[in-house]
Structure 1
Amino acid sequence: MANRERQNELKIYLSDDEQYILQQKWKASSMKSKSAFIRHLILYGYVYDVNYEHLREYNTTLARIGNNLNQITKRMNATGNVYEADVKEVKELMKQVWQSQKSMLSKQPSIKQ
Structure 2
Amino acid sequence: SRPKQMKFRVTENEKEIILNNSEKLGFKTFENYARKMLIDGYVINLKSTDDKDLKYLMSEVSRMGNNINQITKRVNTISQIYSCDIEEIKQSQQEIVHLLRYVVKNINKIKNC
What 5-or-longer segments of structure 1 have no aligned partner? 1-19
The one-letter code matched in structure 2 to 1:64 is R
Aligned length: 82
Cα 1:60–1:73, aligned 2, differ >3 Å: closer, same or farther? same
Deviates more, 1:43-52 or 1:58-67: 43-52
For the aligned residue pairs, the C-alpha RMSD in angstroms reads: 3.2
- Which of structures 1 and 2 has the larger relative contact order (alpha carbons within 8 angstroms, sep 6+)? 2
Larger-Rg structure? 1
Relative to the length of structure 1, the TM-score reads 0.51
Percent sequence identity is 25
TM-score (norm 2): 0.51
Q: Does 1:98 align with 2:97?
A: yes
The amino acid of 1:71's aligned partner reads Q
Matched residue type, 2:88: E
1:11-67 deviation line (CA, Å, top 9, x unaligned): xxxxxxxxx4xx2xx74xx73xxxx47x97xx4564142325243332222112221
**Shift of residue 85, structure 1, vs aligned partner:** 2.2
Alignment gaps of 5+ in structure 2: 26-44
| Structure (1/2) with the larger helix percentage | 2
